[in-house]
């Protein structure tokens, strides 16, 4: 299950090698670990499937001169 960490955590997911999970990053964690992390508030479920690969660029527009309207 995909979760986003709310705190830094050192954890051994396979029982042998410790990993450092960083705050704000998304990780795929085995289902057996997730309920404990969610209950303690260490992680939240990350529902975003994939982040966007590109973002829109802001188009520069020509500013108007700010003339007053005629009476």
Distance, C-alpha 11 to centroid of its chain = 20
Per DSSP, what are the bridge partners of residue 3? 27, 45
Give the structural domain span for 9. Answer: 2-44
d(CA 16, CA 19): 10
pTM for the full model?
Answer: 0.61
Tally of structural domains, the chain: 1
Residue 64's pLDDT is what? 66
Residue 63's pLDDT is what? 67
Per DSSP, what are the bridge partners of residue 2? 28
Is 64 part of a structural domain of the chain? no
Is 71 part of a structural domain of the chain? no
Is 12 part of a structural domain of the chain? yes
Is 15 part of a structural domain of the chain? yes
Using DSSP's 3-state secondary structure scheme, residue 49 falls into coil
Residue 53's pLDDT is what? 66
Question: Does position 70 have pLDDT exceeding 80, yes or no?
Answer: no
d(CA 25, CA 3): 8
Residue 46's pLDDT is what? 86
Query: Average pLDDT in the 35-61 region?
Result: 79
């Amino acid at each position: 299950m995909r979760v986003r960490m709310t705190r830094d955590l050192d954890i051994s997911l396979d029982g042998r090698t410790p990993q450092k999970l960083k705050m704000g990053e998304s990780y795929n964690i085995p289902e057996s670990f997730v309920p404990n992390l969610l209950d303690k508030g260490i992680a939240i479920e990350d529902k975003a499937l994939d982040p966007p690969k590109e973002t829109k660029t802001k188009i520069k527009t020509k500013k108007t001169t700010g003339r007053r309207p005629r009476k």
